[in-house]
Chains A and B, each alone.
Chain A
Amino acid sequence: MTVLELRGVSKAYGQGAALVEALHEVSLTVEAGGMVAVMGPSGSGKSTLLTIAGSLEEPSAGEVLINGAPLSRMSRNDKARLRRRTVGYVFQDFNLLPGLTVAENVALPLELDGTRARTARSAARAALDGLGLADRGDRYPSELSGGERQRVAIARAVVGDRRLLLADEPSGALDSVNAEAVMRLIHEACKRGVAAVVVTHDAQLASWADRVVFLRDGRVVDQTAPLPGPESLLAPGHTP
């Protein structure tokens, strides 16, 4: 089941001689349970792709569909509801709110959507439990390590049965042990049916995805072939 589809999405800023094309006719689909990584250098348009996919920005041309519904035909309220219920964001500057505890942070999207506080809090604690962060619920973000904060951000992005996870450099400045823990979490969410798009310049992180799409100057220039089974790397007579 296709959760996210971008059809010929283009995005331009400015006008005339100052026109900058951040994206040019990008098409992409992500199925439930699938993880797509988007790799490319700075300025390739990968972060713009994510904000447009998440309905935070409108494309100049083309269409975005979430669960088959085109965003262009949605009202502002519908889009807001989509952002509260269906889409989870793990963005670089979308930090945890420092004045709320960890559990309150994770519960927040549910409460904003009208879920009752008690239900929201227990969903939040369940999510934190699943990430081995049960004892952190009553702490404040400033009391957590960078790795723990990032895992909480992911808990917040998948709480309440969200179906689409959009992540921009989710392992940010973390060391490789913590970075791997973060990718495992996202991968586990995908195993539960979440569709994920991860933007990254880091090939090790991208390698967790089923498919890697390469962006350059706003265009998709390449993508990886479908994966064979992992046993092929260890088969006798394998030549690298």
Chain B
Amino acid sequence: MSVRHALLALLSEGPKYGLQLREEFEARTGEVWPLNVGQVYTTLQRLERDGLIESDGDGDDGPQKGFRITPGGSEELAGWLRTPPDLASPPRDELVMKVLVALRVPGTDVHQVIQVHRRYLVELMQQWTRIKELEGESDLGLALVVDAELFRLDAVVRWLDTADGRLKRAATDPPQTATAALPRPRRRVGTRS
């Protein structure tokens, strides 16, 4: 995931040094997403190349080099904030594939596969909730990031529950006769003319 816009946002507050940007990013996101120093400097180079930020320009690439946002950078940041990301193409989901595949592998109980994953997800959620419980009330950034993660994991558990139910019903219901074979279109959402 690119952090260029997060860095632009931090610079929109005022000029800063590279290491300072890393520290602030991590502190404001509840220390949940550690940033690699190399990644920060590479991103800053690209931002400078694209004219979105400028540096003190004395040729010294050390930790004392300061960066400033440009008007172009401010415009880019504003555009990014108000533009929804492209969520139209569902990513290939390994767990969904696993469940679909488990239906076909001989000797596999798909409900067991589902339970193993459900337990693992709930165990992760227990750990995140513990963090939220201990520090969430005093660190807003952390609470937001942990909530996002909890909802993400929760959504997977709810899908597993739904899959469990569908599979159970499908196993006991009489098979439906298929309607006459229709050409199957590529399924696409999100495009509007």
Residues of A within 8 A of B (CB): 39, 41, 184, 187, 201-204, 206-210, 212, 214, 216, 221-225, 227-228, 230, 232-234, 236, 240
Contact = CB atoms under 8 A, between A and B. Distances in A.
Nearest to B156: A203
Given A208-B133, A224-B122, 10 more contacts: A187-B133, A203-B157, A204-B129, A206-B125, A212-B122, A222-B115, A225-B123, A227-B126, A230-B134, A232-B127
A210 B129 CA distance: 11
Chain B binding surface SS class: helix
Contacts of B153: 203
B161 A233 contact: no
Interface of B: 31-32, 34, 115, 118-119, 121-131, 133-134, 150-151, 153-154, 157-158, 161, 164-165
A225 B122 CA distance: 10
A227 B131 CA distance: 12
Chain A binding surface SS class: mixed
B154 A233 contact: no
Nearest to A221: B115
Contacts of B151: 204
Contacts, number: 69
A208 B123 contact: no
B121 A203 contact: yes
Contact of A227 (B32, B119, B127, B165): B127
Contacts of B123: 224-225, 227
Contacts of B34: 236
A187 to B, nearest CB: 7
B126 A204 contact: no
B27 to A, nearest CB: 13
Contacts of B128: 207, 233
A133 B34 CA distance: 40
A211 B164 CA distance: 22
Contact of B115 (A184, A214, A240): A214
Contacts of A222: 115, 118-119
A216 to B, nearest CB: 8
Nearest to B165: A41
Task: Please list the 4 inter-chain residue pairs (A to B) with the smallest Cβ-Cβ separation, ordered nearest first.
Answer: A207-B125, A207-B129, A203-B157, A230-B130
Contact of A206 (B122, B127, B158): B122
12 contacts: A41-B161, A187-B133, A203-B121, A204-B125, A212-B119, A216-B115, A221-B115, A222-B118, A225-B123, A230-B127, A233-B127, A233-B128
